[in-house]
Amino acid sequence: MSNNLSRPSGHLFVIMGDIRNINCDAWLLPTDSMLNVSPSWQDDSDLVAGIHKLRGTAFELGDVLAKPLPLLDGDRPLPIATAVPLYGLDAPSQLRAPLDAFFDAAAQQLETANTPLKSGRSNRLLAVPFFGTGGAGGDMQRGEIIKVLLEGLAAGTERHGVDAVLVLWDPAAYGLAQSMRRASADAWPTLEERLQEQVRRLTDIGSLGKLVPFMGAGTSVSGGGPQWSTLLNDLASEIGLGEHREALQKLGSLDQASLIQERFAERASKDAARSNQDFRAAIASKVALKRYGLAPALLASIPSDGAITLNYDELFETASADQGKPRSIIPSSTDSNTHQRWLLKLHGTVSLPDSIVLTRDDYLGFKANKQALTGLVQAHLMTHHMLFVGFGLSDQHFHEIIHDVRRAIPHTSNTPHALGTALVLTEDALQRGLWEKHLDIVHMSPADTPLEDAGRTLEIFLDMLSARLAANHTYLLAHKYEGALSDPDRHLRDKLLDLAAHLPEDASPGAMKIVHTMMASLGHEL
């Protein structure tokens, strides 16, 4: 690949999710030379049409193992049809050849088409599902397949200088993959030791369920979301204020938004066909994103019941649902918010445009009418450890919350950084001086680093954090994963299965319930 399309070295990420919702450059679509695909892909008419176009090509003839799929809709990640063995999988190692072919085909197609990089990313991102476990005959070899995929993906990222993400849907596979990565000495080779030490510190907090994500606009950039300044620029251009941007930028962001809102209202009053809701509808249209980047998926994996965001989009809640951990949304127009996990959308949500907070009047109204929401944030700041990500720490509402919490918590020279940790892209001495008494400021890169490069380092940081916090061990007693266990884990498995086979029938029901729950959490099928 040419230098402007790749980086010297790539990185392998692992997430739980739905590969169709990932904002990547290209993704692996498992099929075979007969163009058979899983029923789960067949509800996508564009995908089905693209598969039909491969008939009669070198792919169907078996001359190539991977072929870019011609799609009707070009505004989406590129599927690469990749052939698994037609007559079943004899050994997991058979997946290495199609995996290598996928990397080659994706790299060549993206370079030939000169496809621009995804928003906010400094490197290509290729996505691969947990394939080879269905019709290919590998269902009973899932553990070995995970090992082959991790090794093959790592080799592919190194060979092509691209990033890759293994997207898993099975919690046992995810737990095993992250366990293997934690045991590896070089899963995060590009992450500085000072950052790895910060990951270890946050892991200690997160393992207690005390780490609460607090997300700003930066977490949505890789999904195509705009920064606040970009959003205001786009709204100004839409209402005819583009030529006045220099003058507008002399105003604060709240006043810019207020002026833009007034222009929308003026336009609506002169045109009966337009609604007074034009302004909020315009905001919603610019943040109604379809696919999430890595940051929302990695943050959604943090074991915390609560999360807070200033973003209007629905990327984090989509990523959470894709991981089988849906969240109740606050505020919401539905009465079905019964999930234990919750997401507080402090500045509103795209699904309820009237809830959006952007102008000065919105902020003043928020302060007067939504004290309960602010109180929820304040309570979590006092009792949990906030992890601020994608957040410039300049939001006026945030300053007010921090001010109230600082008044409530007596501060002495011995008081620790009780309010949380802020992960910022680049080093800023002034920002550190302003906040370091109340927050741990962790910068990803030096001050002169391009933001896209610093953003990628942040993704790698979150990848290591999510891997260390992955506490799922259902693979241990699941019979489809036995082949990939280490010798100590296999010994433990044998002891536990022996215990399960000799449980006394007349034991206390309460004690037996605890034992059964423990065994089920390790993947044992009673």
Evaluated on CA atoms 457, 460, 466, 468, the torsion sign reads negative
pLDDT at 233 over 80: yes
Alpha-carbon span 3 to 7, nearest angstrom: 7
Alpha-carbon span 220 to 228, nearest angstrom: 11
Alpha-carbon span 133 to 48, nearest angstrom: 21
Q: What are phi and psi of 72, to 5 degrees?
A: -75, -35
Rounded average pLDDT over 97-119: 92
Alpha-carbon span 41 to 252, nearest angstrom: 47
CATH 3.40.50.1970 fits 3-192, yes or no: no
Q: How far is CA 58 from CA 1, 36, 78, in A?
A: 23, 16, 19
Q: Write out pLDDT tens, residues 315-366.
A: 999 999 999 999 999 877 665 667 889 999 988 888 888 888 888 888 777 7
Alpha-carbon span 431 to 393, nearest angstrom: 9
Nearest to 149 by CA among 171, 165, 172, 136: 165
* Most confident segment among 45-59, 205-219, 390-404: 205-219
- pLDDT band for 379, please (50, 70, 90 cuts): confident
Full DSSP string of 493-522: HHHHHHHHHT--TTS-HHHHHHHHHHHHHT
Domain regions of the chain by residue span:
3-192, 228-287, 486-521
Helices (H), 409-508: 429-435, 451-469, 487-501
Q: Give the pairing of strands 125-129 and 328-330.
A: unpaired
Q: How far is CA 132 from CA 28, 87, 143, 148, 150, in A?
A: 12, 12, 11, 11, 13
Q: How far is CA 152 from CA 29, 96, 102, in A?
A: 16, 6, 11
Q: Which two tokens stand for residue 160?
A: 């092509």
Q: What are phi and psi of 506, to 5 degrees?
A: -100, 20
Percent residues over pLDDT 90 in the chain:
44
The vertex-497 CA angle with 492 and 501, nearest 5°, equals 150
Residue 425: predicted pLDDT: 92
CB neighbours of residue 154 within 10 Å = 19
Q: Write out pLDDT tens, residues 397-442.
A: 677 777 777 777 665 545 555 688 999 999 888 877 777 778 899 9
- pLDDT band for 1, please (50, 70, 90 cuts): very low
Specify the higher pLDDT residue, 134 or 216.
216
Q: Write out pLDDT tens, residues 123-174.
A: 999 999 999 887 546 777 899 999 999 999 999 999 999 999 999 999 999 9
Residue 32: predicted pLDDT: 82
- Fill in the amino acid letter for 249: Q
Cβ-contact 242, 234 below 8 angstroms:
no
Residue 507: predicted pLDDT: 87
Residue 2: predicted pLDDT: 39
Is the pTM higher than 0.85? Answer: yes
- Fill in the amino acid letter for 290: K
Specify the higher pLDDT residue, 52 or 465.
465
Mean pLDDT across the chain: 86
pLDDT at 276 over 60: no
Alpha-carbon span 446 to 426, nearest angstrom: 5
Q: What is the dihedral of CA 303, 307, 310, 313, to 10 degrees?
A: 70
SS3 64: coil
Q: Write out pLDDT tens, residues 437-476.
A: 788 999 999 999 999 999 999 999 999 999 999 988 899 9
Helices (H), 384-424: 396-408
Q: Write out pLDDT tens, residues 301-312.
A: 999 999 999 899
